Amino acid sequence: MNLNTNPLKAIIAFSLVLLAKGCKETTYEPKLFSDNNASKTFFDLQVGKVLLKVEVAALTEERTKGLMFRETLGEREGMLFIFERGTQQSFWMKNTRIPLDIGYFSSNGTLLEIHKAKPYDTSGVPSKSSDIKFVLELNVGGFKHLNIPIGSRIDLDDITELINLRNLNPKDFNLP
């Protein structure tokens, strides 16, 4: 790999070296990696007892686009949407070709609701709760298939680390 011809690869390699030297000792550390064509960036995310590879949609334009126009989503892949504060959320499937499960998580990282969403459905899938800060989209049936039940948790420290890996400020998302 010639790092001089691809600045993104150099940044990723440098970040990984820094992470390897400066990580705290735990059994889980979020990791950054890209698929073969580098069009998507994934992070490891532990949800309950299940390790997933997720893309992070934290910026408004990323949350707006979501999984639009995608043809497939891997079995343990998903998209994690991160909001600045917990509110009622509603997701629609405009230009989304993949049938999805939408998991709504509270501000403390607890999975409160799972809803099925049909491709191209623009009617919206609203949350019942008014404290949804994180939303995880998986293939339809993914939560059941992977044994991620209501009450499963994501660690807020892990979310903070994902935000840091994205070079964003966790304080902008009301995270430590």
Task: For residue range 119-135, list pLDDT tens digits in order.
Answer: 999 999 999 999 999 99
Give yes or no for residue 19 having a pLDDT over 90. no
Tally of structural domains, the chain: 1
Tell me 34's DSSP state: E
Residue 163 lies inside a defined structural domain of this protein? yes
> Strand locations in the chain, DSSP E?
32-34, 41-47, 50-57, 77-87, 90-91, 100-106, 111-117, 125-126, 132-139
Residue 65 lies inside a defined structural domain of this protein? yes
Q: What is the mean pLDDT of the chain?
A: 85
Cβ atoms of 79 and 66 within 8 Å: the answer is yes
**pTM for the whole structure:** 0.79
Residue 104 lies inside a defined structural domain of this protein? yes
In 3D, which of 166, 89, 165, 93 has the Cα closest to residue 134?
A: 89
Task: For residue range 61-104, list pLDDT tens digits in order.
Answer: 999 999 999 999 999 999 999 999 999 999 999 999 999 999 99
Residue 1 lies inside a defined structural domain of this protein? no
**CATH number of domain containing 167:** 2.60.120.1140
Residue 73 lies inside a defined structural domain of this protein? yes
63 three-class SS: helix
Residue 7 lies inside a defined structural domain of this protein? no
| Domain interval for residue 105 | 28-173
Which helix (H) or strand (E) is 15 found in, with range? helix 7-22
Residue 98 lies inside a defined structural domain of this protein? yes
- Rounded distance, CA 74 to CA 55, Å? 12
Residue 16 lies inside a defined structural domain of this protein? no
Between strands 50-57 and 77-87, the pairing is parallel
